[in-house]
Every structure is written in C-alpha cells, then in structure tokens.
Amino acid sequence: MITTQDKELLAKKGITEAQIAEQLACFQTGFPYLKLDAAASIERGILAPNAEEQKAYLVAWDAYTNTDKTIVKFVPASGAASRMFKNLFEFLSADYDKPTTKFEQAFFAGIKDFAFYDDLDAACRRITGKNIAGLMEEGNYKAVVSALLETAGLNYGALPKGLLKFHKYPEGARTPLEEHLAEGAMYAAGKSGKVNVHFTVSAEHRELFKKLVEEKAGEFAKRYGVDYNITFSEQKPSTDTIAADMDNQPFRDNGKLLFRPGGHGALIENLNDLDADVIFIKNIDNVVPDKLKADTVTYKKLIAGVLVTLQKQAFEYLELLDSGKYTHEQMMEMLQFLQKKLFCKNPETKDLEDSVLAIYLKNKLNRPMRVCGMVKNVGEPGGGPFLAYNSDGTISLQILESSQIDMNDPQKKEMFEKGTHFNPVDLVCAVRDYKGHKFDLVKYVDKATGFISYKSKNGKELKALELPGLWNGAMSDWNTVFVEVPLSTFNPVKTVNDLLREQHQ
C-alpha cells in the first residue's frame, strides 16, 4: 500500500510506482540463470593478436586519436575504502594488543613502505605526541591503526579509495585519482591534446575530489603536455532500488520505504550522459606507478585499436545495407563478419531469406560495441568470459558473475571453474551509431540479469536488489569482443597490504 509520504519520497527520487511494482515482482520471481554455450577461451572468442596484428591495431588507434573524435576515460570512484581496512578494523576491536595475525604482522613489518607513512607519522605525533616508531616500541600498535582509520587522524577508514595515497614518488605520494590522470594523458588524449576524465563519486566526497583536482591537475598537465577536462557525476537517486522484507513486501524503516543504491549497474545512466565517441572504463584501484605503466598503456591502445577497426568495418556494412545495393555474396560476407569477428551467432540465419537477413544484420551491426581485456585466471574473484544464449536465440560473448550461473548444474559449474580467463574491468566502448548519433545505452540493458542479495537493517533481515552489472547485464545487448591482455595490467588494491606488493612500490 503506497502512502502519501511514500509518493513524496518517490517523486523526490524520480522513481515511478510502476518501477516499484516491477522491482517487487523481481523479488517474487527471482532471476533466471543464463543459459551457457561454453566458457570463452583463446580458441573460442578471446583474441590473442600476434605481433604484426598488434602493430596494426596500435597504428589504428594512433590514427583515430588524430581525428576530431571525443575520447573519455570513465572511472567509477564512489566506493569507500572501508573494505580495504577490514582486517585493521578487526585488530582495533580485538582483545589483544600486539599484531597477531599474518595480516597484522605484515602491515606493521612493512609500515615504512606505505606511501601514506609520513602523513600517518605526523598524525600520530599530533594525536599522541609520539611518532610511529615510538608507539610501536611501547606496544601501542592500536594507536597507530586508529590514527590511520579514524576521524581524529587520517580518516582513511571512511574515505573513498580514489583519495588515499597509494604510490611513492620523489616529488611526493600519489593517489589513484592522480594515477588515472597520468594514464589518461598516455593513451586517451585527442589531437588537440585534451584529456577528458570522468569520475563517478559519492555526493559526500565530491568536494574532496574537486579539491584534489584543483591542486594537482595543473601540475600533471604541465608534466604530460596535455589539457585536462575533468568532470564528476553521482549515481542518480532514480537508480536506487526498493528493499523488500522476507515476504517480498516493501521493507519499511520506521514506517519509511527503504531504498538502496542499485550497484555499479546504475552507472549505465552516467555513461549514457557522456558526450563521447569512445569511452575507456577502468576501476579506480587498478593503477600502478609510472615505471610500470608501459604495459597498461600499450594494451589500452591495443584494445582501442581493435574497437575502432571493427567499428569501421561495421559502419561500412551498415552504409551498404542502407544503400540497398548489395549482393547475396556481400550479405554472406557481413554474416561471416558478425559470426567470426563479433562472435554473434544464430543457428537460424541459414534459413532466412535475403530481405529478412538484411534486417537481422542491420539490427545486430547497429548497436553499441565494446572490447574487453581479459587476463589469465589466477583465482582472483571477478566475472568470467562466456558464450551465452540471449533471449532472441543468438549466442554471443558475455561477462558473467558466478551468481548468474546455475552452480547446481555440474556441467555449468565445471565451465565456470575451468574458465581460463577473467574480466579485470578493462573496457573500451564505442557509443555512437554509423550516422554519428549517440545510442541510448539504457535500451541495451538485459533487465533479467539483476540479482538479489541478503542484508539487514537495524537487526531486521532484508532483500536487496542489484541492477544488472555495468559490464555484465547492463551491456548485454552490445557487440562484444574479448582480447587477452597480460596480468601485469591488472593490479587491484583490495586490502591495504596489497600496497606492499612490488607492483605498488
């Protein structure tokens, strides 16, 4: 039953009653598992270009950056770093005072190697009158951790990852935000030397991000000889999803409807608002210092080269289809391109008449396109590359999370476990059609690929609805191509101790 108060809240968020009904129905019915054809591999759907092909793709990207096209680097950066410090929060509330677990011992053994060491040392002196070494000597390890995590100190436990000091340089430490600015200059600059970088941030931290940009952008522009255009957006309130109780009724907290952020899939709206031709997407915490950026830069250019090469061919075919002056042989060539280069197959196309086939080809070629880097599977959590069935009977490449796969089916479980590659969130997207119009990306989301998670609020259990993930179901109906990239391009920071790995030193 929707009350007047509920209606006011919905109006404020920009959510309709019909959307609420649709979301509650999802709790009722759940989401179907995706039907799989196979795990993608080098033999099936993942490209591993040889040296000559690599060269051609790099040349293609260089040529593209010399046109008037708009290139944007899109960085989801709203995540708080609290999970990064989970082990240290546990230490603070533990009933012992000395580092006891392997994690705690590694943290203190390597403390001088963290880029934030000097800031932390100063915070310790300010709060306790003693430096880090002094506090550790007297066994007061918790004072050091609380100076790192709590508001009186550096407040790292509540800040977003993008604003934490990750890497040391002779001229001072750098945050992930700064590393993304440096990276953008290396592969995403247009011919005018302009680098467009867009960060999605949370409302509460937006000012801190802007302040850091104001302090640092000039210095990076000078260093790399570019001009920056740095923009921000927040997840839209209209993408929040309703929480449900265990009976699939709207969850109420003190009588008020409870909404939750819809997960990274909500960012398809932010992506859709960008005025761009090509958009790179990469997570905020997957950065390395300059001395290790060479591989990242090469492979970013490479996957972008694959993208613009395929797009050019698709555009030529679409123009030919528009002209109406094509032969049966040319249509067969287009079908081969769709099946062999864009990995989109439909067993029924062999029976289609030319006129129907032309409509099918136009429909499949004229849609957003993405090329995704895939690294060899080393057991990190993350989505995997699969060939999956779509609702229209086609089989295409998709990035799937384990929650989308029926793990009770031994055959599917084996496919998932034997997957050779996984997705490190390394994408480059083409979002305009062959006539130069922007695609409406929201139309290409597969709504049946969301998932339900279980949470609690004030001790009461609730069900939360995650929207189809940004690089999963939100891009389900795009043309998708996978390219193998080296593991050296994937260096995420999941815990604070990851910063002690040599890639971050």
Alpha-carbon torsion 273, 274, 275, 277, what sign? negative
Contacts of residue 332, defined as CB under 8 A and 6 or more positions apart, other chains included, come to none
DSSP classification of residue 10: H
Q: Please report the DSSP string for 134-162 in residue order.
A: HHHHTT-HHHHHHHHHSTTTT-TTTSBGG
**Structure tokens belonging to residue 273:** 């608002």
Domain residue spans of the chain: 4-79+181-504, 86-159
Backbone phi, psi, residue 498, to 5°:
-60, -25
pLDDT higher than 70, residue 81: yes
**Structure tokens belonging to residue 331:** 């249509």
pTM of the model: 0.95
CATH topology for the 4-79+181-504 domain: Spore Coat Polysaccharide Biosynthesis Protein SpsA; Chain A (3.90.550)
Question: Tens digit of pLDDT for each residue in 401-456?
Answer: 888 888 888 888 888 888 889 888 899 999 999 999 999 999 999 998 998 988 88
Q: Where are the alpha helices (DSSP H) in 86-226?
A: 86-92, 102-109, 117-128, 132-137, 141-149, 176-187, 206-224
Overall average pLDDT of the 61-89 stretch: 95
Predicted local distance difference test score (pLDDT) of residue 489: 93
Overall average pLDDT of the 373-394 stretch: 85
Question: Average pLDDT over the chain, rounded to whole?
Answer: 94
Predicted local distance difference test score (pLDDT) of residue 62: 97
Work out the pLDDT band at 158, boundaries 50, 70, 90. Answer: very high
pLDDT higher than 80, residue 398: yes
Contacts of residue 308, defined as CB under 8 A and 6 or more positions apart, other chains included, come to 60, 61, 64, 278, 430
Predicted local distance difference test score (pLDDT) of residue 382: 63
Q: What residues does 463 pair with on adjacent strands? A: 244, 454
pLDDT higher than 90, residue 397: yes
Q: How far is CA 160 from CA 165, 174, 223, in A?
A: 11, 14, 26
Work out the pLDDT band at 381, boundaries 50, 70, 90. Answer: low
pLDDT higher than 90, residue 225: yes
Class of residue 155 by CB neighbours under 10 A (exposed 0-12, middle 13-18, buried 19+) = middle
> What letter represents residue 125's amino acid?
R
pLDDT higher than 90, residue 168: yes
Predicted local distance difference test score (pLDDT) of residue 380: 65
Task: For the beta carbon of residue 405, count every other beta carbon within 10 angstroms.
Answer: 19
